[in-house]
Amino acid sequence: MYPKEYFLERFKTEETEELLHRYAATDLADEAKEAIRSLLQSRGVDDSILQPLVIQARKAAYRQTKGTTECDFCGSSARFSAVLDEGQRFCSKSCLRSARLLEASEDIPKEAIFQHACRIKEGPCPSCQRTLTRIEVRPYYRVWSVGLFTQWTKRTHICCLSCGRKTNLESLIFSVVLGWWGIPWGLIITPGQIIANITEMLRSRGDSEPSAELIQAARLDLAARRYKERALQSNG
C-alpha cells in the first residue's frame, strides 16, 4: 500500500479536469483519493463544490467511446447494424437507452439505489412471479453466424435461479445450433459462449447482498421512473 505522499507526487502534474475524472471514474485506494482531494483543494476546488463536479465527470464518462466495433454499453459486438449516437456505438437501442439512463442516475442518492436493489432482490421473480430463490441479474450468452458474418452477444435479465438456468440452457442450444457457421469467428467464439452459459448455470448467486449488477439495474429502473414522472409532469 502506497502512502498519500506517493500519489501526491504521481498526480501533481495532471490537469484539474483529469484529476476529477480519475477521482470520479476510477476505483482508487483511500490514500489516492485523499491525495487527489488535497491537490484539488490547492487549486481552489474545495469540498463544497467537489461533489457536483464529480457527478459531472461521471456523467461525461458515460459519453466516452471505446473506439472499437463493440457496444459502448454492454461490450457485445456492434460491427453490423450498429446504433450510433454522438460518436458512440451501441449494439441496440436498448443499450443506448440504458447508457443515457445510467448517466441520469448519477443524480439519484446512492442510499435510495441500494434500498431499491434490496427490494428487487427479496421480491418476486419478474419472469415467473415466484419467490423460491433470491432475485439477481443473470447473464446469458448467444452467438450466431453465417459465412463471413458472426454476431455474439451477452445479455442479462433479472430473475430467479430457475428462470436464469432455463434461459442459459436455451441460449446454449441456440449457440450450438447456429453458432458454428461463420469463418473464422463462428468457430472461435462459439465454444466460449457455450462455456459461459454452462458456467453461469452452475452459479447460485444466492448472496444476501445485491450484486453490483443488480445495483446498476436498480439505478436504471429508478432513473427510468424519474424520467417517466418528469415527462408526465411536463405533459400535464
User: Cβ(148)–Cβ(79) under 8 Å?
Assistant: no
Each residue's pLDDT tens digit, 37-53: 899 999 998 888 888 88
Each residue's pLDDT tens digit, 154-211: 889 999 999 999 999 999 999 999 999 999 999 999 999 999 999 999 987 767 889 9
Mean pLDDT of the chain: 90
User: Cβ(66)–Cβ(72) under 8 Å?
Assistant: yes
Each residue's pLDDT tens digit, 82-110: 899 999 999 889 899 989 998 989 889 98
Name the residue with higher pLDDT: 207 or 22.
22
Each residue's pLDDT tens digit, 65-81: 988 888 998 888 887 77
Q: If you search the block for the grid coordinates 500500500, which residue do you land on?
A: 1
DSSP string spanning 145-202? EEBTEEEEEEEEEEE-HHHHHHHHHHHHHHHHHHSS-BTTHHHHHHHHHHHHHHHHHT
Name the residue with higher pLDDT: 230 or 98.
98
Q: Give the Cα separation of 107 and 23 in Å (integer).
A: 17
Exposed, middle or buried: residue 183 (CB in 10 Å: 0-12, 13-18, 19+)?
A: middle
User: Cβ(194)–Cβ(176) under 8 Å?
Assistant: yes
Q: Give the Cα separation of 18 and 37 in Å (integer).
A: 13
Question: How high is the pLDDT of residue 222?
Answer: 94
Triad 3, 6, 10: Cα angle to 5° = 145
Answer left, alpha or beta for residue 85, where phi above 0 means left and psi between -120 and 50 means alpha: beta
Residue 127 clears pLDDT 70, i.e. is over it: yes
Question: How high is the pLDDT of residue 76?
Answer: 80
Question: How high is the pLDDT of residue 211?
Answer: 92
Question: How high is the pLDDT of residue 236?
Answer: 62
User: Cβ(157)–Cβ(147) under 8 Å?
Assistant: no
Q: Which amino acid is at 48?
A: S
